[in-house]
Every structure is written in C-alpha cells, then in structure tokens.
C-alpha cells in the first residue's frame, strides 16, 4: 500500500499581502475595543475629520470612550465587562447618569460609581486593589470616593503602541 498523498501544497507559508496586514490590524483594534465594523468605521471617519494624524485621532477617540475609561480606571477586568457596567448605568459623568458605552468623555469630566451601585459585587474589596493600580497619565482616580477625572486627552505615548494605526488608515483609504 502506498502512503497517502500530502494535503495542502507547499511547506512554506505564503507572504502576507499588504491588504492582509491592514485588515489584520483593523480587526485586532476592533476586537480589542469590542466594536462592530460600522461603529469602528464611524469612529475612524470622525477621527479623520478632526484633522492631523487620522490614526492617532482614531486611537484617541477609542481611548476616550466611557467604557474604555472605566476599564482604564480598573473598575472592570475587561473592556466587555466595563461596557456591560456602563450599559447597566453604574456610572455618572459630571453627576448625570450615563448608560452609553460609546459616550465620549471630555477633559475635566468626573466619572463616578453611582451611590446605589457602590455596594454591588463588582465593587466590594476593590478599593485596596485600586490604590495599588497604575493609571495612564491622562487619568486620575480616587479609590475612596470611587470617582475619577480625565486630566487631559491621551498623548501619543499614552496610546496603545501595539496597534499600527497607520495600517488602519491605509485600509480605509483604499
């Protein structure tokens, strides 16, 4: 009996095309921030309108989303959990209840856990953990009050360096 023929083709993996690299980078960013295609593209277009570096503007807009800020404060373990907590109206922005994860926070906005939610399970024993956590330089958080403030927009060095935003810009500019 003869051995079975090889399936698949050559032993060398094919070189990734430029389009493939751009697509992979966009998909990585989309998954990281938990967005669907339409939402991600609208955010990109909004960033492009701002002027300047479109890729940097995109990442800045993604970082300034309320669900991401809650995640950065350390109030949620994942961005998905942060998104759900925002959906369930656990937070106020400048004293107003907000339940929209894509809400764009602004400089000097104060984000706080609502008083009636502080005794909920996700926040029990969190105060000690938050005191030891390191925050990005553009955020400030008071673990005792369970509230934080946006000090300034994230600078280029504060943005996620694992995302090659230029590839995303090139993808949408085709």
The per-residue pLDDT for 3 is 65
CB atoms within 10 A of CB 101: 21
> Could you tell me the pLDDT band of residue 19, with boundaries at 50, 70 and 90?
very high
Helix (H) / strand (E) containing 164: none
Residue 154 has pLDDT above 80, yes or no: yes
- In the chain, what percentage of residues exceed pLDDT 90? 71
Q: Which of 74, 77, 43 is nearest to 165 (CA)?
A: 43
Residue 6 confidence class, pLDDT cut points 50, 70, 90? low
pTM greater than 0.85: yes
Half-sphere exposure of 78 (CA within 13 A, CB side): 6
Instruction: Quote the radius of gyration of the chain (alpha carbons, Å).
Output: 20
**Cα 172 from Cα 147, distance rounded (Å):** 37
What backbone torsions phi and psi does residue 63 show, to the nearest 5 degrees? -70, -30
DSSP 8-state assignment for residue 65: B
Average pLDDT, the chain: 91
Provide the pLDDT for residue 10: 63
* Mean pLDDT in residue range 18-32: 96
Domain ranges of the chain: 19-172
The CATH class for the domain spanning 19-172 reads alpha beta
Determine the Cα–Cα distance for residues 98 and 5; give it in Å rounded to an integer.
Answer: 61
pLDDT, tens only, 44-73: 999 999 988 999 999 999 999 999 999 999
pLDDT digits (tens, 9 = 90+) for 116-151: 988 888 888 787 788 777 899 999 999 888 999 999
Given this model, what pLDDT does residue 129 score?
80
3-state helix, strand, coil in the chain (%, to 5): 45, 10, 45
């Amino acid at each position: 009996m003869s051995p079975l023929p090889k399936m698949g083709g050559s032993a060398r993996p094919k070189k990734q095309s430029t389009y493939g690299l751009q697509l992979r980078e966009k998909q990585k960013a989309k998954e990281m921030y938990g967005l669907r295609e339409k939402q991600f593209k609208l955010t990109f277009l909004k960033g492009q309108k701002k002027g300047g570096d479109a890729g940097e503007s995109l990442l800045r807009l993604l970082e300034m989303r309320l669900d991401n800020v809650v995640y950065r404060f350390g109030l949620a373990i994942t961005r998905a959990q942060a998104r759900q907590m925002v959906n369930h109206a656990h937070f106020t922005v400048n004293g107003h209840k907000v339940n929209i994860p894509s809400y764009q926070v602004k400089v000097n906005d104060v984000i706080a856990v609502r008083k009636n939610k502080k005794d909920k399970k996700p926040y029990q024993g969190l105060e000690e953990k938050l005191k030891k956590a390191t925050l990005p330089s553009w955020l400030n958080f008071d673990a005792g009050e369970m509230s934080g403030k946006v000090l300034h927009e994230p600078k280029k060095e504060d943005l996620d360096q694992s995302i090659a935003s230029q590839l995303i810009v090139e993808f949408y500019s085709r």
